[in-house]
Amino acid sequence: MPLARYFFDTYDGSRLISDTEGIELQNVGMARIEAQKALPDLARDALPDGDQKTFIVSVRDEGGQVVLRAALTLIVEMAPENRPA
């Protein structure tokens, strides 16, 4: 089975980074796994400055078509007794 090249563009809520190199994978299922693995790293590297932030990995095929998107939303809520007055 020939490999296909997939490109993983990332968005951390304020910055879009386009993947210009991509990686070769067997199929879109493998691309999905890679996208899911990238999300926690994005969240760790760009901690929110507010109470909520959404991280997105958009996967394109060799033709430039988006074949899937994976998103992770991080929500931080203070307990009512710890909220500033």
Query: Distance between alpha carbon 8 and the CA centroid of its chain, in Å?
Result: 8
pLDDT at residue 18, as a whole number: 97
Angle at 41 between CA 35 and CA 32, to 5 degrees: 10
Spell out the residues 6+ positions from residue 74 whose beta carbon is closer than 8 angstroms to its own: 43, 48, 52, 53, 54, 55
pLDDT at residue 37, as a whole number: 95
* Residue spans per domain, the chain: 4-82
Helices (H), the chain: 28-45
Tokens, residue 59: 């996967």
Average pLDDT per 10 consecutive residues for the chain, totaling 85 residues: 94 91 97 95 73 92 97 85 75
pLDDT at residue 42, as a whole number: 86
What is the pairing mode between strands 52-60 and 4-11?
Answer: antiparallel
Kindly report the pTM of this predicted structure: 0.83
